[in-house]
């Protein structure tokens, strides 16, 4: 018989940390902490399987669930000496979501459930604190009305703000019991007005309404968006955690807070977080009141005047510090905890692995190895390769002139410049039109996630380091400045006022999420420097991986950047990208439009020294590492002159008439250029083009070697081969140039000749091609297009629908289609190596920088991956993780 409910509390638990898939992350953490003997209020978890059942059976509950939940609720009451619905000793509970992975702010929570007029009076009598009881009931009505009844928070905030304004106070805590009683009446009246029915007083109806709402929040728009962005499966579902309430709003000896066992932005080992005295948990994460730091050191750095928890509640702080250390040692990872202090007593409400920036992830991983908590291999596995992207992009130039207009908390590191947008919808729309956007909000909410994802950075006027904006921005790798209280935002007018400055919609600002500063206009940036913890972890990763990591580089500058990031060669140098320079495009057009060999050779003679110079720069930058150069592979339409002026320029250079050139351009036009006269087909019809390139390559290599440079490891790649005969024809042409060079100079550079596998036929006939080719490089961009029959440039119009409808799990141009394209790669690798045992195999499409695709390449037996320069560290780390997983799964 299925078990739907798992209890925890009083030092015992039905579940453990290993049951995260069943109990969700929150439920598994509560069970584990309870089993460790930590102070956890008792409660129970309704499993994720119940949520799955709920959606598979027309949103109904499984048989037996209510009976199990009722029994568990009675047990909770017995442990705390209370009874659900009993005014004399009322049991109040929280109802919280808890998916198996953290989805901060994406799903719903209800606190203080179990209050009605009778139990509220009972709570007031029991505690001798009417203000506390009414404040709890006021909070419950507002939260329940929003989460369960579907009313907007703003309806109740208006009532609350009016009451404070009428009394002449600013803070909720300045309202007394009489004030709160009137607010409760007004809240209930608003519910009646909006819904035409009374706010529910039946506590059991409240409970099951909240449980249904938590299950329902799994399919809320914001949760679906978050799952899509973070590739979380739809069918995982969420658990529901029902837990006895402890109250941080019982007065000046009560508080609530969120803490990380290390700084989630830097990784520094100190208790880092925020708390609020006389408040409940939602006040901290919602950003409605700006909270106080937990540690004295953090308060001093931020220049805060209100005391830290370490100063205001030293005993509770010391206990929290000890529990934090115990949890870190137990989980062997940085933890993110929620807690409440009720009348001076500390209670733990959650623990989970803390989200962190890439910089912090590196420091935490390296420090924990030094501390003996984890080994080097686990440290490498702890860092998300894609998170390194946060470290690999420019930051603000400290020497550049800046006009600071505001400051706040440094909530998520990095810098960004963009046009101001005041709503998430506006940010998404403007970003879709190609604009860089900074989303500016008073505070963000989960409904803003689409705009946050579209924006380059986020700025909020309210909220702390653990507010929704801060947590989500860090997870996305977006720079964020939060709690910039001097900013006054008027979204309706489309402007914000920062002291003497007024910034309007569409104007540029720059934010620095590392310092918390906001600047007017654009501020120049500088390239990052990678050392310290990054170098240490990458050194460990390099020792674990089998796959080599090369780069796609077309210029010496690209090659130098890639070398700095640890590239071990160039896997793809696209020679056509060298020709778009304004000084060269004229000669290229002259070559393409030439209607005889002599005219073509005249144009090629102009290009030869340019190509030779390009290759010399690349060879010098790579310092003897292998360089794979792909011969010309242009869709010709990209180079054809488009305007009358361009046609006239080419005609003048070629010594012909514009009319004749236009006729030639029309003759070269193709219905489908991507499958037309390009790649090896161009080299076969006009061999002199590839002969010029081969000469430029060989002469450049010899020039570098003669001038004292390291010997070039030269690999010449023939593109778009489908038949061995194509490859053999062009291989011999290249060899003939090499022989000519040897006669002219007494020697020629050593080289290998190989091909790109980017057509299904080439993959299927790889065995016979490998008899002649010395290496294969899988061009998975084109191999994906030709296998799926999908144009990458046009796929966006319908692939998003495929993704949203669950027809495919990933965009096949982002992560390799392992079942289709991947099968062709495996076939080509197997057949190629059967014909040539030492055949070198690599991949040079965009997939070379995608961690999932890199794991596939490891398993398929490839020798290297090649990716863009800034993806090289990502690929190095992903290759190490692929090797570790492969060994462990195979053993």
Q: Are 482 and 469 in contact (CB under 8 A)?
A: yes
- Tokens representing 119? 């139990």
Give whole-number Cα distances, 880 to 159, 550, 864, 873, in Å: 57, 14, 12, 11
Q: CA-CA distance, 733 to 500, in Å (whole number)?
A: 70
- Tokens representing 366? 């390296």
What's the chain's average pLDDT?
A: 90
Task: Using the structure block, give the residue that is written with the tokens 């939060």.
Answer: 482
Q: Is 844 annotated as catalytic?
A: yes
- In 697-854, the DSSP E strands lie at 713-718, 751-757, 775-778, 840-843
Q: Are 33 and 52 in contact (CB under 8 A)?
A: no
- The closest of 218, 255, 273 to 467, measured between CA atoms, is 273
- State the pLDDT at residue 634: 74
Q: Are 324 and 315 in contact (CB under 8 A)?
A: no
Q: Which of 453, 468, 847, 858 is labelled catalytic?
A: 468
- Tokens representing 372? 């003996």
- Tokens representing 859? 């398993």
- The closest of 829, 854, 836 to 844, measured between CA atoms, is 854
Task: Using the structure block, give the residue that is written with the tokens 């609530």.
Answer: 256
Q: CA-CA distance, 821 to 808, in Å (whole number)?
A: 14
320 φ, ψ to 5°? -65, -40
Q: Are 42 and 8 in contact (CB under 8 A)?
A: yes
3-class SS of residue 352 = strand
- Tokens representing 558? 């690209």
Q: CA-CA distance, 174 to 164, in Å (whole number)?
A: 8
Q: CA-CA distance, 426 to 505, in Å (whole number)?
A: 10
- State the pLDDT at residue 891: 40
- State the pLDDT at residue 108: 79
Looking at residue 712, what DSSP letter applies?
P
- Tokens representing 298? 């953090």
Q: Which of 480, 498, 844, 867 is labelled catalytic?
A: 844
DSSP string computed for 183-217:
HHHHHHHHHHHHHSSPPP--HHHHHHHHHHHHHHH
Spans in the chain with pLDDT lower than 70: 1, 105-107, 284-289, 390, 393-394, 446, 465-466, 471, 475, 477, 527-531, 577, 580-583, 635-639, 654, 793, 796-797, 886-891
Q: Is 677 annotated as catalytic?
A: no
- Tokens representing 693? 């390139």
Query: Across-strand partners of 417?
Result: 510
Q: Are 889 and 861 in contact (CB under 8 A)?
A: no
Give whole-number Cα distances, 511 to 213, 357, 413, 460, 508, in Å: 37, 17, 10, 11, 10
Give whole-number Cα distances, 154 to 187, 425, 435, in Å: 12, 19, 31
- State the pLDDT at residue 594: 78
DSSP string computed for 210-237:
HHHHHHHHTTSHHHHHHHHHHT--GGG-
Q: Are 688 and 727 in contact (CB under 8 A)?
A: no
State pLDDT tens for residues 488-510. 999 889 999 998 899 999 999 99
- The closest of 339, 336, 392 to 364, measured between CA atoms, is 336
Counting Cβ atoms within 10 Å, is residue 242 exposed (0-12), middle (13-18) or buried (19+)?
buried
State the first-to-last Cα distance of the chain, in angstroms, to the nearest integer.
34
- State the pLDDT at residue 170: 85
Q: CA-CA distance, 387 to 358, in Å (whole number)?
A: 5
Q: Are 565 and 392 in contact (CB under 8 A)?
A: yes
Looking at residue 356, what DSSP letter applies?
-
- Secondary element (H or E) of residue 680: helix 680-685
- The closest of 500, 480, 471, 502 to 489, measured between CA atoms, is 502
Residues 6+ apart with CB under 8 A from 65: 4, 5, 46, 50
- The closest of 173, 443, 146, 155 to 287, measured between CA atoms, is 443
- State the pLDDT at residue 886: 64
- The closest of 481, 466, 397 to 104, measured between CA atoms, is 466
- The closest of 77, 429, 49 to 242, measured between CA atoms, is 77
Q: CA-CA distance, 27 to 96, in Å (whole number)?
A: 10
Asked whether the CA dihedral 770, 776, 779, 780 is positive or negative, the reply is positive
- Tokens representing 472? 């989500």
- Tokens representing 618? 């690349």
- State the pLDDT at residue 364: 96
Query: Across-strand partners of 274?
Result: 258, 293
Q: C-alpha angle with apex 546: 541 to 714, nearest 5 degrees?
A: 110
For 377-394, give one letter per residue: b (16+ CB within 10 A) or e. Answer: bebbbbbbbbbbbbbbee
Looking at residue 421, what DSSP letter applies?
E
3-class SS of residue 113 = strand
Q: Are 85 and 70 in contact (CB under 8 A)?
A: no
Q: Are 519 and 404 in contact (CB under 8 A)?
A: yes
């Amino acid at each position: 018989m299925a078990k739907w409910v798992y209890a925890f509390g009083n030092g015992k638990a039905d579940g453990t940390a290993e049951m995260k898939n069943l109990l969700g992350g929150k439920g598994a953490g509560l069970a584990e902490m309870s089993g460790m003997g930590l102070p956890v209020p008792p409660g129970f978890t309704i499993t994720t399987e119940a949520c799955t059942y709920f959606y598979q059976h027309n949103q109904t509950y499984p048989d037996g669930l209510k009976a199990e939940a009722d029994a568990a609720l009675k047990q909770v009451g017995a442990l705390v000496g209370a009874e659900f619905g009993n005014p004399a000793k009322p049991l109040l509970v929280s109802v919280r979501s808890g998916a198996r992975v953290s989805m901060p702010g994406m799903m719903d929570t209800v606190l203080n459930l179990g209050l009605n007029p009778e139990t509220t009076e009972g709570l007031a009598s029991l505690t001798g604190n009417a203000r506390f009881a009414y404040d709890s009931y006021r909070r419950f009505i507002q939260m329940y009305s929003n989460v369960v009844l579907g009313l907007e928070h703003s309806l109740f905030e208006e009532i609350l703000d009016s009451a404070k304004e009428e009394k002449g106070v600013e803070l909720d805590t300045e309202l007394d019991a009489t004030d709160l009683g009137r607010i409760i009446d007004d809240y209930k009246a608003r519910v009646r007005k909006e819904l035409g029915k009374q706010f529910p007083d039946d506590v059991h109806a409240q409970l099951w309404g909240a449980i249904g709402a938590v299950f329902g929040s799994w399919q809320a728009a914001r949760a679906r968006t978050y799952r899509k962005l973070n590739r979380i499966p739809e069918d995982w579902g969420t658990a529901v955690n029902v837990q006895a309430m402890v109250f941080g709003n019982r007065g000046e000896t009560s508080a609530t807070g969120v803490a990380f066992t290390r700084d989630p932005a830097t990784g520094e080992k100190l208790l880092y977080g925020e708390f609020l005295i006389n408040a409940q948990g939602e006040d901290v994460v919602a950003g409605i009141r700006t909270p106080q730091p937990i540690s004295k050191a953090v308060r001093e750095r931020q220049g805060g005047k209100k005391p830290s928890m370490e100063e205001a509640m030293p005993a509770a702080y010391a206990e929290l510090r000890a529990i934090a250390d115990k949890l870190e040692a137990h989980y062997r990872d940085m933890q993110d905890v929620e807690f409440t202090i009720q009348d001076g007593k500390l209670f733990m409400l959650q623990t989970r692995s803390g989200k962190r920036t890439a910089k912090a992830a590196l420091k935490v991983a390296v420090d924990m190895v030094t501390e003996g908590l984890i080994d080097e291999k686990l440290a490498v596995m702890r860092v998300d390769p894609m998170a390194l992207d946060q470290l690999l992009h420019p930051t603000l130039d400290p020497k550049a002139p800046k006009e600071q207009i505001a400051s706040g908390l440094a909530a998520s590191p990095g810098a960004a410049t963009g046009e101001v947008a005041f709503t998430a919808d506006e940010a998404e729309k403007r970003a879709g039109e190609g604009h860089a956007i900074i989303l500016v909000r008073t505070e963000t909410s989960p409904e803003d996630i689409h705009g946050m994802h579209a924006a380059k950075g986020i700025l909020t006027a309210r909220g702390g380091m653990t507010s929704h904006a801060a947590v989500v921005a860090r997870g996305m790798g977006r720079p964020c400045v939060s709690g910039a209280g001097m900013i006054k935002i008027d979204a309706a007018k489309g402007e914000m006022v920062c002291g003497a400055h007024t910034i309007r919609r569409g104007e540029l600002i720059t934010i620095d999420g590392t310092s918390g500063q906001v600047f007017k206009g654009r501020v120049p940036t500088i390239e990052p420097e990678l050392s310290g913890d990054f170098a240490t972890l990458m050194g460990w990763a390099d020792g674990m991986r089998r796959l080599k990591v090369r780069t796609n580089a077309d210029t010496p500058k690209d090659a130098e950047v890639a070398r700095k990031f640890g590239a071990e060669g160039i896997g793809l140098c696209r020679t056509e990208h060298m020709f778009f320079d304004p000084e060269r495009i004229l000669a290229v057009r002259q070559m393409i439009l030439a209607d005889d060999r002599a005219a073509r050779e005249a144009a090629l003679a102009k290009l030869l020294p340019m190509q030779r110079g390009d290759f010399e720069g690349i060879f010098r930058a790579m310092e003897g590492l292998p360089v794979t150069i792909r011969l010309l592979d242009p869709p010709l339409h990209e180079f054809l002159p488009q305007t009358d002026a361009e046609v006239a320029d080419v005609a003048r250079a070629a010594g012909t008439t514009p009319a004749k050139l236009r006729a030639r351009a029309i003759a070269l036009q193709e219905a489908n250029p991507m499958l037309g006269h390009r790649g090896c087909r161009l080299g076969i019809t006009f061999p002199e083009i590839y002969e010029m390139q081969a000469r430029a390559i060989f002469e450049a290599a010899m020039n570098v070697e003669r001038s004292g440079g390291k010997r070039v490891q030269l690999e010449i790649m023939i593109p778009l081969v489908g038949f061995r005969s194509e490859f053999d024809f062009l291989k011999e042409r290249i060899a003939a140039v090499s022989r000519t060079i040897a006669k002219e100079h007494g020697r020629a550079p050593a080289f290998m000749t190989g091909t790109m596998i980017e057509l299904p036929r080439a993959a299927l006939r790889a065995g016979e091609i490998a008899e002649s080719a010395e290496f294969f490089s899988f061009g998975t961009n084109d191999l994906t297009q030709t296998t799926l029959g999908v144009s990458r440039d046009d796929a966006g119009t319908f692939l998003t629908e495929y993704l949203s409808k669950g027809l495919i799990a990933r965009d096949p141009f982002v992560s390799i289609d392992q079942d289709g394209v991947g099968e062709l790669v495996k076939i080509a690798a197997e057949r190629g190596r059967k014909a040539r045992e030492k055949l070198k195999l690599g991949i040079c499409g965009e997939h070379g920088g995608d961690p999932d695709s890199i794991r596939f390449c490891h398993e398929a037996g490839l020798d290297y991956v090649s990716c863009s320069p800034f993806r090289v560290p990502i690929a190095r780390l992903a290759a190490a993780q692929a090797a570790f997983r492969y060994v462990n799964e195979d053993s």
